[in-house]
Structure 1
């Protein structure tokens, strides 16, 4: 592995972290540094939408805080493959989130799965042009 590939892999890892931090903190504009303008995002396995970034960004800002006021991702098992100016990255995720239990309290909902990104090098750095959230398991949903 040469220095360019090491640098690319570190930059792509930063994209993955920016994504989860933006989702967890509700800093929705930070997603502009994660996705290309024409990115395709598929959240259907977790009950969400499959749409372009322009549609998904406001949907996330409206829906996530309404159902999951607190969010906290953990990423692991990151697999990155760089091929020139394109790359793929898959990362295991664990996402526990408190939500109302319908009886005045709250319960912890957990989702585990794999984020699959297709990325492209842009003048502003690496960006995801496609995200598929693969759900492997759910708990308390």
Structure 2
């Protein structure tokens, strides 16, 4: 497989994530990650089994993503993808970027880790306020 093929497959994977988040399709969101995948934001890291609760608590709206910058390294890769989220009822925006790691699996490329960084009006870049999402802990 060529580097171009790998890049296109990863870009399509990330497009599926954005469309699934926009539609609220939890199963499709879960499918773009490896079974040991995680998402980091709000000062915490959420394993895959915590995604449904995290997605349910998230505001609903449009996830617009830009073309990612991806560094391939054999069967793994790392990348950064810009994001503009527009909340559906008030059209308030959140902007930032994802920092990702990817791995080639027998089922194709998958996200292993995705970390959100928000860009604030002040110019600060951060992972969000820890109190923005309260999850049930075992």
The separation in 2 between residues aligned to 1:28 and 1:60, in whole angstroms, is: 10
Note if contact 1:95-1:111 (Cα within 8 Å) is conserved in structure 2: yes
The separation in 2 between residues aligned to 1:44 and 1:74, in whole angstroms, is: 20
Matched, 1:39 2:37: yes
Note if contact 2:30-2:48 (Cα within 8 Å) is conserved in structure 1: no
Bigger helix fraction: 1
**Structure 1 stretches of 4+ moved >4 Å:** none
Q: How big is each residue's C-alpha offset from its partner over 1:65-98, in whole Å with a ceiling of 9 and x where there is no partner?
A: xxx3x41121114201110000012111111103
**Higher alpha-carbon Rg:** 1
Structure 2: where are the runs of 5+ without partners?
122-138
Count of residue correspondences: 122
The one of 68, 71, 75 aligned to 2:61: 71
The separation in 1 between residues aligned to 2:38 and 2:9, in whole angstroms, is: 20
The one of 20, 23, 34 aligned to 2:21: 23
Q: What SS is found at the alignment partner of 1:129?
A: strand
2:105 aligns with 122
The separation in 2 between residues aligned to 1:28 and 1:127, in whole angstroms, is: 16
TM-score (normalizing by structure 2): 0.80
